[in-house]
């Protein structure tokens, strides 16, 4: 029998529940995985289900008088018998990892945001948006038969403002940053942290009838990389749209992606006694022309151009 409780008060909902979480089947495969020459993974057929107690809440509200929208959710859970790693490292540097059950895994996370559109009599619209996603986790693990605990904090914060002059000109500057900090109770592990940020602006111009120009320019910086080539990056996309027919149903778009040819997808992931640097292939610079005919209902005219977001 698993307890569950839900309380709703106006626009706030809070619920509690207990779950039984089965171990992932990959942890239970009784085969020695030595595909990585520096790491051997073992299976454990004796793993038990984890018991998780979870509290979740959400609050969403909208004020039609001032067009202010507020949304949020938060959750916290603790787990006993969670699947954690028991790591043994020999003198040659070879790690042997075996999944085991342990108590004390924790997670606290929250997501919160506000946005508002302010309309003025002269057909000018000012809009703004701000929000955050933050997570804190504690995960126990065993290193050379010594109990250890990893604490990880990740926080993402974004913001943007918008200026719209009668749909003739739109300017949408935006800024976001992400912070990560990983510590361990075991003194053999160094504290790892990173800070990356993105600043950019989207520009849309509709001065010429049936011709729409749009441009997206972003600057990204991640201090986790020592190499400046991967630490800093500019991304610039631009296009021109030609609309046809009634209600601009048809659009011919000529688009250039990554004009500066600097797009890279790289990431640094610290975890316990390892730091992984991931380099992924991405579709970088290209040029494309498309023709789209929109079968939207009569009277439902949509804007052409733009649509970039930092989150």
Question: Residues 128-139: pLDDT tens digits?
Answer: 999 999 999 999
State the pLDDT at residue 160: 95
pLDDT at 301 over 80: no
pLDDT at 304 over 70: no
State the pLDDT at residue 311: 44
How is the chain split into domains, by residue range?
Answer: 64-293
State the pLDDT at residue 200: 96
State the pLDDT at residue 297: 57
State the pLDDT at residue 228: 73
* CA nearest neighbour of 204 among 249, 247, 168, 258: 168
Per-residue confidence band for 113, with pLDDT thresholds at 50, 70 and 90? very high
State the pLDDT at residue 249: 85
pLDDT in tens, 63-94: 998 999 999 999 999 999 999 999 998 888 88
State the pLDDT at residue 278: 75
State the pLDDT at residue 190: 84
pTM here is 0.81
Per-residue confidence band for 272, with pLDDT thresholds at 50, 70 and 90? low
End-to-end CA distance of the chain, in Å? Answer: 40
pLDDT at 151 over 90: yes
State the pLDDT at residue 309: 52
């Amino acid at each position: 029998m698993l307890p569950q409780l839900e309380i709703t008060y106006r626009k706030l909902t809070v619920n509690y529940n207990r779950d039984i979480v089965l171990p992932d089947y990959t942890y239970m495969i009784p085969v020695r995985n030595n595909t990585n020459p520096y790491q051997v993974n073992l299976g454990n057929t004796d793993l038990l289900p984890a018991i998780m107690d979870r509290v979740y809440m959400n609050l969403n509200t909208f004020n039609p008088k001032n067009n202010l929208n507020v949304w949020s959710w938060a959750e916290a859970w603790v787990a006993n018998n969670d699947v954690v790693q028991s790591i043994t490292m020999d003198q040659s540097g070879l790690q042997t990892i075996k999944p085991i059950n342990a108590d004390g895994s924790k997670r606290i996370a929250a997501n919160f945001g506000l946005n508002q559109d302010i309309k003025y009599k002269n057909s000018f619209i000012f809009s703004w948006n701000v929000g955050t996603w933050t997570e804190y986790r504690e995960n126990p693990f065993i290193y050379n038969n010594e109990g250890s605990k990893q604490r990880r904090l990740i926080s993402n914060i974004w913001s943007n403002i918008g200026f719209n002059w009668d749909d003739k000109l739109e300017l949408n500057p935006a800024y976001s940053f992400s912070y990560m900090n990983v510590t361990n109770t075991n003194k053999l592990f160094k504290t790892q942290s990173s800070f990356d940020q993105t600043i950019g602006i989207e520009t849309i111009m509709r001065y010429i009838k049936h011709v729409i120009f749009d441009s997206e320019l972003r600057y990204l910086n991640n201090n986790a990389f020592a190499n400046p080539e991967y630490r800093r990056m500019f991304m610039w996309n631009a296009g021109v749209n030609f609309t046809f027919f009634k209600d601009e149903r048809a659009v011919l778009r000529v688009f250039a992606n990554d004009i500066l040819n600097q797009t890279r997808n790289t990431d640094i992931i610290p975890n316990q006694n390892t730091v992984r640097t991931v380099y992924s292939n991405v579709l970088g610079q290209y040029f494309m022309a498309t023709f789209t005919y929109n079968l939207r209902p009569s009277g439902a005219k949509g804007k052409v151009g733009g649509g970039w977001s930092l989150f």
